[in-house]
Amino acid sequence: MAYCGERSRLENRLTGKDLQRALWVGPEPSRFMPGVPRKTTQTERLKMKRDCDEVFPQIIIGNGDAIKNMDYLLDIGVTHILNTAESDVRIDPTKFAKNGICYKGFVCKDIPGADISSFFHECAEYIERALSMRCGLVLVNCYMGYSRAATIVAAYMMLKKNYTATQALQYMRNSREVQPNMGFLQQLAGLDNNLRKERYRKYNSMQVQIQYSI
């Protein structure tokens, strides 16, 4: 059985509202962008028609315009694209294949009621395979690069890198003003709760095995 302290943590379910606190701290308003040798403000990024940041080693989050600029993608060495907003960012996937870039996309509206959690596991696997390559570099985008893309990257960090939802969001907020909508935050909280339960089940199972082996 779990210790009392562990049981208390297990039963203390995380909510989307709890995760909003992870968004209180943000990055510097003027910061470096991949492929640009100087710090840029949001206004400058809009003029350049691309806005992206490396939020985790080998993972870039960007807006829809960023993946439409093939010269830019090739210049910074992107190997994989994950378009989380195919209904808003329409692009011909064959253009990526012709340039040696792998593409994956899905349709999900940036509204609280949209079920983005149904894409968590398949996207985490896609990103993990991409980063297993020696030079793998993934650009995950949505329309603005703040909500859908950030939610998917957070889920990847939780599923593959053992981050909590809070830790994942805070880590990304160091370099980009990611801000999933409340519905997406709640779905990340649900994933966090499920992963925590799974960890404690494994822990308890190990404790039982140790007791029987003594």
Residues taking part in catalysis: 142
Residue 81, classed as helix, strand or coil, is strand
Secondary structure class of 214 (helix, strand, coil): coil
For residue 196, give the amino acid letter.
R
* CA–CA dist 145, 165 (Å, integer): 18
**Residue 173 near residue 23, CB atoms below 8 Å:** yes
Distance between CA atoms of residues 69 and 90, nearest Å:
13
Rounded Cα distance between 166 and 168, Å, is 5
